[in-house]
């Protein structure tokens, strides 16, 4: 469910407080909206970098902790970093951004190819303990990361 926010609010925090005071958002709704926003932002990265023939896009994603002041619990932030002209190292990304999920895309001639995804620490152990319940590609990337062979 998407709630329209009246322009009477001067900050995002005020708008979020108003929305969350009156309704709760289910996890499925948050994920659905996040997927749509992800696709839009990925397309925007592609559009902004059309002049480049080969580059990488790094996406960092993080669920923000619940605010002690505002009743906001489903805040997911995504940062799209592009263009990057060298392939990012999983070890370096995990070291520099230890609390985020990481996605890497390779773009050749405007065509994006998903290279790998690694979750943040909150989900890592749970996924590895329940491998059968998760996407086999994700489990493979995580296993390769732990072995030091993720390329």
Q: How far apart are CA 89 and CA 27, in angstroms?
A: 31
Strand partners of residue 62: 77
Asked if residues 64 and 76 have their Cβ atoms less than 8 Å apart, the reply is yes
Low-confidence ranges of the chain (pLDDT < 50): 1-6
Q: What is the pLDDT of residues 58-75, one digit of tens each?
A: 999 998 776 666 655 667
Q: What is the pLDDT of residues 5-24, one digit of tens each?
A: 445 655 656 555 555 555 55
**55 burial via Cβ count (<10 Å: 0-12, 13-18, 19+):** middle
- Domain spans of the chain, in order of start: 12-147
């Amino acid at each position: 469910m998407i709630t329209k926010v009246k322009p009477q609010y001067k900050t995002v925090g005020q708008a979020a407080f108003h929305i969350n005071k009156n309704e709760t958002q289910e996890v499925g709704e948050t994920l659905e909206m996040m997927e749509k926003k992800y696709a839009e932002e990925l397309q925007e990265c592609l559009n902004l970098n059309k002049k480049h023939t080969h580059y990488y896009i790094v996406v960092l994603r993080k669920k923000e902790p619940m605010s002690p002041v505002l009743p906001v619990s489903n805040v997911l932030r995504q940062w799209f970093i592009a263009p990057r002209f060298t392939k990012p190292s999983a070890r370096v990304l995990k070291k520099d951004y230890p609390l985020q999920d990481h996605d890497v895309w390779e773009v050749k001639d405007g065509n994006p190819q998903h290279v790998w995804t690694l979750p943040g620490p909150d989900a890592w152990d749970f996924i590895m303990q329940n491998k059968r319940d998760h996407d086999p590609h994700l489990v493979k990337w995580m296993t390769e990361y732990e072995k030091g062979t993720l390329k």
